[in-house]
Amino acid sequence: MGSNASQGGSGAGLKHDDLWYYDRLPPTARHALANAAFDWSAGYFYNRWTKAKPGFKSGADVAKQVKQADRTVKRK
């Protein structure tokens, strides 16, 4: 899995490589990220999941967020 981890902006403060965050997500969330249409940063989803932000409380919630994010990407 490659990474679109942010190089600037709000996501740039992540302390670890993107795979570190990916490996710590629940299996359902990892599966969604691995099969996403876009290479989303796992750190974004991990940080919200660990803080139990609304819509990120479980692996299934994270998977739904990944799918929702995929719908925002323009397909060529």
Those residues with Cβ within 8 angstroms of residue 5's Cβ, 6 or more apart along the chain or in another chain? 11, 14, 17, 18, 41, 42, 43
Query: Residue 73: what pLDDT?
Result: 86
Query: Residue 75: what pLDDT?
Result: 64
Report phi then psi at 75, rounded to 5: -95, 140
Query: Residue 65: what pLDDT?
Result: 97
Distance (Å, rounded) from C-alpha 61 to C-alpha 63?
Answer: 5
Query: Residue 14: what pLDDT?
Result: 74
Distance (Å, rounded) from C-alpha 54 to C-alpha 60?
Answer: 13
Low-confidence stretches of the chain (pLDDT < 70) are 1-13, 74-76
Specify the pTM. Answer: 0.78
Query: Residue 9: what pLDDT?
Result: 47
For the record, the structure tokens of 34 come out as: 């691995």
Query: Residue 54: what pLDDT?
Result: 96
